[in-house]
A and B are shown apart, each in its own frame.
Chain A
Amino acid sequence: MEATNCELDSEVTESKREGRKRRLFRLLVRCAFLSAMTAALLGLAPWPWAPMVVPALSPYIMVAAGLAGPTTETAALAGAGAPTWMPFSVAALVGLPVLMLVLFRRRWFCRYACPVGLLSEPFRRLHSLSRRERVGVRGLKLPHLGRWIVLATLSGACLGYPLAIWLDPLAIFSGSFGLVRNAAGMAGWVALSALLLILLSNVLWPHAWCLRVCPLGATQELLALPQRLLQGRPGGTLAAAREASPDRLPRRSVLSFGAGLLAAGAGVRVAVGPWSRAHRAERDAIRPPGAAGAGQFPWLCVRCGNCVRSCPEGIIHPDERPAEPAGLLAPMIRFDKTYCRETCRRCTEVCPSGAIRRLSLDEKRRTPIGLAEVDMSLCLLAPENGERECGVCGPACPYAAIRFEFDYDTYISTPTVDAAKCTGCGACEIACPGTNDAQRSQSARPIRLRRAVYVVA
């Protein structure tokens, strides 16, 4: 036990041993990373894909999403463009250098790049300033939660459902920027609270998150395992581990792998099983263009908030009332005052995990996110609604998907949607003046505001 702990805590002791110059250099690099990441997430960088880089740096996200990516759902969607084995090509390229470095220098990310680690430093100082006896990690006996989280997630990822990919510190860091632009509301607060929780935990138990809970850190450990085995470092080989505690590492690995599979199975059931259908909301959530299949999307999404912030129209919102628990805070589209512009594809450029596939503008225009439907009971062209001279939905459609069928016997025009041309962009929905507003105000129970023309997922 001592040997294993010593191995894992070597980073802590190494920090204590390093010289002043080295420490200053490391501090500068960490500050540089923090500033660069902050700037990228605030949208200050000139490249539209800049925010994507921040969570994509995480080897945890990269491995989990990489394993989950090439499943049937994503593969089916990868019609034109990206090859199925790399549904998030640019993101993978970003994570790759980090991955390579990890293989050589385990935990370099934590020491040099992680913003959560840097932000934790002042809180660790608070701990050491207090008069209480230092409760180091060694004394805490906190189990290696991070390792189990990673194994469970990666097992689930093999089935296409990376279970806790959203626990990544870079995703949480990213998500807390939701309060800055496009006001992500609840999602921003949740992420910020999680971040603060992590930072504050350092006051009581410094390094607890970093060494025991953080899945990104645990991923690095996992990736370094082959290296340790190959190099035969003392205290790092299987033999030494078995010596220290005969059945500790292998049994735990097997157990967590099994637990991961079970959890993945349960997760799949929850996501796509009949149970969730019974509790489904009035309409399925409309997802951004290029999104993975309905069942898989909420699991692939890391809740980083990049797509929410990137949308120039502000129509992407974290789902606060999802049909199923797995969809909580996953991005969904709601057309309030504006629609998914035919000239934009920003959200497809910033997803780090491939939950939203990268699309060219041409592909985006050919990728439906929903289908418009017409409810004649609300349409102003119907005699019961006044037979008004409406027709705004037709010219509003950027894809010319709405025509009007005129019946020469009844003299009624009916807006008709051409499903082959309709992408569900919502231009017709926001143009439509026919609403059930009157019914809504008179109804005893809450009715969702509807228009005569509306988009369904």
Chain B
Amino acid sequence: MSRKWTRRDVIGALGASGAMAGMGRVAGAAGPTAAGGSAAIIRDGKIVQPQRDLPLLHETEVLVVGAGPAGVCAALAARRTGAQVTLVERYGHFGGLWTGGLVLIVAGMHDNKGRQVIQGVGEEIMKRLDKLDRGVIPRRPNVDPTIDAEAAKYVMVEMIEEAGIDVVLHCWGVDAIVEGNTVRGAVFESKSGRQAILAKVVVDASGDGDIFAAAGAEFNQITFHIGLVCRIGNLDKVDQAKAAGKKPRGLGARTPIEGVNWVNMAGPKEQNCLDVKTLSKLEMSHRKFIWNQVEAIRKTPGYEQVYLVETAPQLGVRMSRMLDGVQKVMYDDVMSGKPLADVVAVGGDWRKPEQRIAAWHIPYGAMVPKRVENLLATGRCVSGDPRLADHLRIIPTCFVTGHAAGVAAALCVLDNCPPRAAEVAKIQQILRDQGAFLG
């Protein structure tokens, strides 16, 4: 039909093309998307995260990233020393691998003389567990104790709430906030989205040194074995007569719960503990192995009632990054029990009493990065010889390094000095006042 365009037609055509143009803008690459501009986009074959401002979740004095044994002790100690503390944790529980990873045993509390060298805040947690029914296997001198994970999780919730520490769980520390070489806080991901927490001093208790790595501190990463711990039950229902002394593989060791054992797994060695493909593959492989191992136990005469209680919610990642700090814990010093002037933490040995080494020292500088300011590393990722991994990563060492880092961080806030310039003698004094054993 070719009739002459009326005024109505012109207005209609203009309106339609205008609407189409508008829709085109909405649907096109340029301009706001349905997600409001925050989703990642693909541009020129690359996946790009558009720049945006991060909301500030919180501002605090001492920020502790990670609530494993080191992080919990750091937070409690910093609070007690007098700073405002925020504790952030990626899982939903406190205790890290100690509870969530079902490590359970606090192996390495004593030295070759049979003294319990692990004191301070860590020992306070243990004392609270002593008071609970089935919190810990009744403690004996010179014997490393085994706890119950649920009891420890509960005890730590109580202690942290009593102390008045701000807590954010289910929140993963993913980046550092830096001004040149100085750390100003950290960035977190959670269900609430990507958010920032600013702090005067940051304590990296993430175990993997995620924050110090993001901030550009020097470190080296070592490979290590990855396992998965499980708990099995009904060991008190084993028919010993039927078993006739034959023990199947993988019975593990006692826990405070009657009939329930925890079963360790060393796992394949030399793994890259930061590779998600490795973690995924091993998680599934371990789960299958554990299931099959328990099935094999159930097929052993007398052990038919045994069952798999749980596999640990946390994969047994034992060691990855180690800070390259101002000082390093040296192998020969540890083996010879050399006393250090700058000692802020003293460790023990998990071996049989006659094989143990003497109490060994960790200097303050092992927690301080070489160039990055306002940041302290604590827990297994402190600066040390890789051959000392088995000494630095164990739970009791994390207790004492956490305690030391917490005190140091709070002191830096109160004295308004950078961690690099903190007075070690003052740190040592406060640690002693808080019950720590420094040799």
**Which residues from chain A sit less than 8 Å from chain B, CB to CB?**
381, 383, 387-392, 394-396, 403-404, 406, 408, 411, 413, 433
Contacts and interface: CB of A to CB of B under 8 A. Distances in A.
Given A413-B225, A433-B351, A392 B268 contact: no
Given A383-B249, A413-B225, A391 B355 contact: no
Contacts of A433: 351, 355
Contact of A394 (B264, B269, B289): B269
A387 B386 CA distance: 22
Nearest to A415: B269
Given A392-B390, A413-B225, A433-B351, A387 B266 contact: yes
Given A388-B266, A392-B387, A406-B267, 19 more contacts: A381-B266, A387-B264, A387-B266, A389-B225, A389-B264, A389-B390, A390-B266, A391-B225, A391-B269, A394-B269, A395-B386, A395-B387, A396-B387, A403-B270, A404-B269, A406-B268, A408-B285, A413-B225, A413-B268
Contact of B268 (A387, A396, A408): A408
Contacts of A387: 249, 264, 266
Interface string B394-433: 0000000000000000000000000000000000000000
B265 interface: yes
A189 to B, nearest CB: 31
B337 to A, nearest CB: 15
From B269, B386, B389, residue with most partner A Cβ within 10 Å: B269
Q: Which 10 A-B pairs have the closest CB atoms?
A: A406-B268, A404-B269, A395-B387, A389-B266, A383-B249, A411-B289, A413-B269, A391-B269, A395-B386, A413-B266
Contacts of A413: 225, 266, 268-269
A395 B391 CA distance: 14
A188 to B, nearest CB: 28
User: In terms of DSSP, what is the predominant structure of the interface of chain B?
Assistant: loop
Contacts, number: 40
A394 B225 CA distance: 12
Contacts of B249: 383, 387
Nearest to B269: A404
Nearest to A391: B269
Nearest to B316: A389
B320 to A, nearest CB: 15
26 contacts: A383-B249, A387-B264, A388-B266, A389-B227, A389-B264, A389-B266, A389-B390, A390-B266, A391-B266, A391-B269, A392-B387, A394-B269, A395-B386, A395-B387, A403-B270, A404-B269, A404-B270, A406-B267, A406-B268, A408-B268, A411-B265, A411-B289, A413-B266, A413-B268, A413-B269, A433-B355
A116 to B, nearest CB: 42
Interface in B259-300: 264-270, 285, 289
A281 B289 CA distance: 44
A394 B265 CA distance: 18
Contacts of A395: 386-387, 389
Interface in B226-281: 227, 249, 264-270
A438 to B, nearest CB: 11
Contacts of B289: 411
From B225, B227, B289, B389, residue with most partner A Cβ within 10 Å: B225
Contacts of B265: 411
B209 to A, nearest CB: 19
A253 B355 CA distance: 62
Nearest to A396: B387
Contact of A406 (B269, B351, B355, B386): B269
A388 B225 CA distance: 12
B230 to A, nearest CB: 13
Contacts of A403: 270
B40 to A, nearest CB: 36
Interface string B378-392: 000000001101100
Contacts of A381: 266
Interface in B327-386: 351, 355, 386
Nearest to B289: A411
B277 to A, nearest CB: 16
A404 B266 CA distance: 12
Contacts of A388: 266
A57 B265 CA distance: 62
Contacts of A383: 249
Interface in B200-227: 225, 227
